[in-house]
Amino acid sequence: DILAEYLKYRQFPFQRLDGSIKGELRKQALDHF
């Protein structure tokens, strides 16, 4: 979560691929990656 907050603060685009996102959103993130 600290890394995600830093990336948001610096306005860097990123995708979370861990278990913190659920179902279809995770599938979309993996497809985008």
pLDDT in tens, 1-33: 899 999 999 999 998 888 888 889 999 989 988
**How many separate domains does the chain show?**
1
Give strand ranges (E) for 1-33.
none
- Domain assignment of residue 27, given as a range: 2-32
Q: Which pLDDT value is given to residue 6? A: 98
